[in-house]
Chain A
């Protein structure tokens, strides 16, 4: 947003609290002063703001430090962050480096050491320089080694190797010694034939394999000696059966490594000639290769021993196999023990997945079991509640436990009771005392239609064996006609509320215990008479029902509160009480 001159003056006026005209005058004066100073090639400073100066034809404004800091308040305190430091080697002038180089050259140091090249100031040193230097040195070393090899005689090599053999710490058993002797003999025979064959060869055939070596006359002997040395090394190395380590190994592991050493399946401690041939089978193969390459002329002249050896090698073709102890891979060429082990391992593997399943099942089973158990428990609890009438469930709650709206009296009056209504009769004849729990409330209505649902509901509840309901009924004037017994008096000594005695008009605003609802007037009169004889306060409420006609609700007692009625109900004879409900008069 651009603040023009007018807005700026307005802001100044508001900040200063003086008239705008004065502000304009002050501003003009300031500008004139600045211009005059600049025209005179002088600088004009405003304290804590900046300096106006002229540089050539340009007018500069140099803000003060305070102003710069305040404007740059967001980034005050931030310092430059070093990302990469300068290389430390790139120090010093080139001349100094040259002096160092000369110094290196003058010193009596091996020529292989090359002074570090002068690096530019901006570039970092080559980290691979040293490596290349080493490589160059290695090349020289290799050349020297080759010369030494050429100069070495066969005897020197043999002697060196034999010394090494002597230094070996292995203790040879008698069996191994026998193996060595047998091995030596076989080797000598083999070498003898091999050397003879080699001597008959042309010299050129050796060049491919032994270019750098001594003349052809020497190569056979060298080869022989190398083979001998190899044999001796192998002979010096005890077999797996003789290693002390094997004693701690399991059978599987022992056989696992036997393939490397060319063990037979017989597990014989002593090596036969076949074992030797197996060990040297590779050499024979090499020999075959050599023959193919260099000694083709010797194929015809080879003795049958070689052929037999080859045949035997083919039959007992040893293929070094590294068996994996953990897997069930079997070896080739009829190694029975390994096959048995493999079978064991395979069986173990088969078991392992099965073993996993039960564990997995165990993990899953508890959860399912818990769910099933909870469902069963809840179902059983609900069934019990319905059975005992706490909960009304059709089909479970017995009919006798359902709250009976209309019922006959106790067994003696049942015969005289007419059929109240068809759905109620069978339930009335089987009236039994039930729990007088007042746990449910009925929906009431001021109209008769509302009372009908109450009756119907009570009938239904009775059928289902539910507890009696508390009917919150209105005064008789709204939905019914109250007929009281003739014993109603206005005796001042008579308590307003009570179970026995005579009815009082003041008590009609309380609660009463409804015993049953009858449809015939004659039955109502009889019940009233019977109850009155027992000194109960009998109330009869007449209601008309579209479905059942005129119904008469017989109740006893007048109580101020619901609790009083419930307490009084407990004192009533169960034969009289039966299935009752407490309702408002």
Chain B
């Protein structure tokens, strides 16, 4: 296992998640995209702010399954 492989591993998963695809790896889990839309938030000091939308990556482990 080389650094190139790890780098390619990360880039491949990143690219697929950016394309809104879910990547399932046997023995590890599933990487899926998650979108959080904008929402209002009321802070403790009373100010109301509008949080911008955000895309993130979710991971669901599934290490029991393996080929």
Q: Give the nearest-CB partner of A5 in chain B.
A: B26
Cross-chain contact A80 with B52 (CB below 8 angstroms):
yes
Cross-chain contact B8 with A3 (CB below 8 angstroms):
no
Cα–Cα distance between A188 and B21 once the two chains are bound (Å) = 104
Cross-chain contact B24 with A2 (CB below 8 angstroms):
yes
Q: Check: A15 CB closer than 8 A to any chain B CB.
A: yes
Cα–Cα distance between A86 and B49 once the two chains are bound (Å) = 11
- Selecting from A65-73, A307-315, A488-496, the interface stretch reads A65-73
Identify A46's interface contact among B6, B16, B17, CB under 8 A: B6
Identify B22's interface contact among A1, A60, A75, CB under 8 A: A1
Cross-chain contact A49 with B59 (CB below 8 angstroms):
no
Q: Indicate whether A74 sits within 8 Å of B25 (C-beta atoms), given known contacts A15-B11, A29-B1.
A: no
Give the size category of B's interface with A: 35 or more
Cα–Cα distance between A59 and B64 once the two chains are bound (Å) = 12
Cross-chain contact B4 with A16 (CB below 8 angstroms):
yes
Number of interface residues of A (CB under 8 A): 52
Which residues of the other chain, A, contact B51 by a CB distance below 8 angstroms? 80
Q: How far is the CB of B48 from chain A (nearest CB, A)?
A: 4
Cross-chain contact A49 with B24 (CB below 8 angstroms):
no
Q: Indicate whether A61 sits within 8 Å of B46 (C-beta atoms), given known contacts A16-B8, A67-B14.
A: no
Cross-chain contact A30 with B9 (CB below 8 angstroms):
yes
Q: How far is the CB of A233 from chain B (nearest CB, A)?
A: 58
Binding site of B, secondary structure by majority: helix, strand, loop or mixed?
mixed
Cα–Cα distance between A100 and B20 once the two chains are bound (Å) = 59
Q: Indicate whether A59 sits within 8 Å of B61 (C-beta atoms), given known contacts A26-B5, A46-B9, A71-B33.
A: yes
Cross-chain contact A61 with B29 (CB below 8 angstroms):
yes
Cross-chain contact B22 with A49 (CB below 8 angstroms):
no
Q: How far is the CB of A526 from chain B (nearest CB, A)?
A: 102
Q: Indicate whether A30 sits within 8 Å of B6 (C-beta atoms), given known contacts A70-B18, A73-B18, A80-B52.
A: yes
Please name 28 pairs of A and B residues whose Cβ atoms are closer than 8 Å in the assembled complex, sorted by A.
A1-B19, A1-B22, A5-B24, A5-B26, A12-B9, A28-B27, A31-B25, A31-B63, A31-B66, A46-B10, A47-B10, A48-B10, A58-B61, A59-B59, A59-B61, A63-B57, A68-B57, A71-B57, A72-B54, A75-B53, A75-B54, A78-B52, A80-B49, A80-B51, A81-B52, A82-B47, A84-B47, A86-B46
A59-B63, A61-B31 known, 19 other contacts, Cβ within 8 Å: A11-B16, A27-B25, A28-B27, A30-B9, A49-B9, A61-B29, A61-B61, A67-B14, A71-B18, A71-B57, A72-B55, A72-B56, A73-B55, A80-B52, A82-B49, A83-B48, A85-B47, A86-B43, A86-B47
